[in-house]
C-alpha cells in the first residue's frame, strides 16, 4: 500500500495528448461521525465518471503527508483498495481498532482520505500516448470519533461557544462543549465579514481562539452572526451576543 501511495503521488510525466485525467469518485457526505458504541460505520463512494477508477482509502490523525502504512490513526478500512466501475459505487467500512486511548469526555477528530486514480489516457488510435500526466486526486474529509454519553449534543454545540470582544478589535471564541464546532463564516451586525484563515474555522472541545476584526469594523459591536456546519454537512446560522 505504501509503494502504491508514493508512486501515485509522485507521478509527473507530461501528457501532450488530447486531455487530462480528472477526479470522478465522490464521497457521500462532507464528514463522518463515528459513535463509539457502533462496531463500524459505512461511507458510500460513487464513480460519477465514464471510466473505471482505482481507489485507495485510509485514515490519518491530522498530518496530510503521512502515507497509509505510516498512519497511527486507530481505524481500519475495508476494502483499503478497490476498483470502481463507471456509474457504480463502493461502500467503505470503517472500524475503530481500540489501539489508541481516546478521551471519553470529548470528541476526537481524524481525517478520511480517498485517493482516486483514473486509468491511463488513450489517444485517438486507442493507445496510451507516450508522454502523459497521470493525476491521482485525493479527497480528505473529517472523521469525528464521538464517545457515548457526552454532555449536551452536537446540534447544540455552537450555542455553547462563548464570544467576547477585547481591546475593541479582537474577538475571542471559547468552545465550552464536548463537540467540535466548524465555522465557515463570521459576520458582524453591520454586514462586515470577519476573516477566518485556513485551518482556523474548527474549534475543538474546550479550545479558545481569537479572530482579529477587519480595519473597517467600527462603531458599537454587540452582535455576531455565526455560520457553522452540522453533522449532515448543512450550514446553520445563528446570532450571537458578544460580551466584553
Q: What is the number of domains present in the chain?
A: 2
Partnered with residue 172 across adjacent β-strands are: 164, 210
> What percent of the chain lies above the pLDDT cut of 70?
83
Domain termination site, one of 104, 122, 146: 146
Domain termination site, one of 105, 122, 146: 146
Q: pLDDT of 51-76, one tens digit each?
A: 899 999 999 999 999 999 999 999 99
What CA–CA distance (Å, rounded) separates 112 from 94?
Answer: 10
Mark whether 200 and 94 lie in a shared domain: no
What CA–CA distance (Å, rounded) separates 114 from 90?
Answer: 12
Q: Which residue has the cell 460580551?
A: 243
Mark whether 93 and 23 lie in a shared domain: yes
How far does Cα 58 stand from its chain's mean position?
13
What CA–CA distance (Å, rounded) separates 154 from 239?
Answer: 18
What CA–CA distance (Å, rounded) separates 76 from 103?
Answer: 19
| pLDDT band per the 50, 70, 90 thresholds, residue 131 | low
**Domain hosting residue 174, numbered range:** 154-241
Mark whether 80 and 27 lie in a shared domain: yes
Angle at 28 between CA 27 and CA 29, to 5 degrees: 95
**pTM of the shown model:** 0.85
Count of positions (residues) in the chain: 244
Amino acid at each position: 500500500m505504501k509503494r502504491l501511495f508514493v508512486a501515485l503521488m509522485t507521478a509527473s510525466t507530461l501528457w501532450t495528448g488530447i486531455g487530462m485525467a480528472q477526479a470522478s469518485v465522490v464521497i457521500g457526505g462532507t464528514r463522518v461521525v463515528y459513535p463509539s458504541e457502533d462496531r463500524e460505520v459505512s461511507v458510500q463512494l460513487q464513480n460519477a465518471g465514464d471510466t473505471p477508477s482505482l481507489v485507495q482509502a485510509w485514515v490519518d490523525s491530522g498530518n496530510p503527508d503521512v502515507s497509509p502504512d505510516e498512519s497511527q490513526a486507530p481505524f481500519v478500512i475495508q476494502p483499503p483498495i478497490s476498483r470502481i466501475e463507471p456509474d457504480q459505487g463502493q461502500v467503505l467500512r470503517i472500524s475503530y481498532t481500540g489501539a489508541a486511548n481516546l478521551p471519553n469526555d470529548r470528541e476526537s477528530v481524524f481525517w478520511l482520505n480517498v485517493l482516486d486514480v483514473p486509468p491511463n489516457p488513450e489517444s485517438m488510435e486507442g493507445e496510451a500516448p507516450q508522454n502523459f500526466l497521470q493525476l491521482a486526486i485525493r479527497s480528505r474529509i473529517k472523521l469525528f470519533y464521538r464517545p457515548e454519553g457526552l454532555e449536551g449534543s452536537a446540534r447544540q454545540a455552537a450555542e455553547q461557544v462563548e464570544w467576547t470582544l477585547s481591546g475593541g478589535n479582537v474577538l475571542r471564541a471559547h468552545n465550552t462543549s464536548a463537540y467540535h464546532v466548524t465555522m465557515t463564516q463570521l459576520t458582524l451586525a453591520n454586514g462586515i465579514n470577519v476573516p477566518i484563515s485556513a485551518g482556523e474555522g474548527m474549534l475543538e472541545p474546550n479550545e479558545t481562539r481569537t479572530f482579529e476584526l477587519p480595519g473597517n469594523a467600527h462603531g458599537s459591536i454587540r452582535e455576531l452572526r455565526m455560520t457553522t456546519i452540522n453533522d449532515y454537512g448543512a450550514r446553520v446560522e445563528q446570532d450571537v451576543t458578544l460580551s466584553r
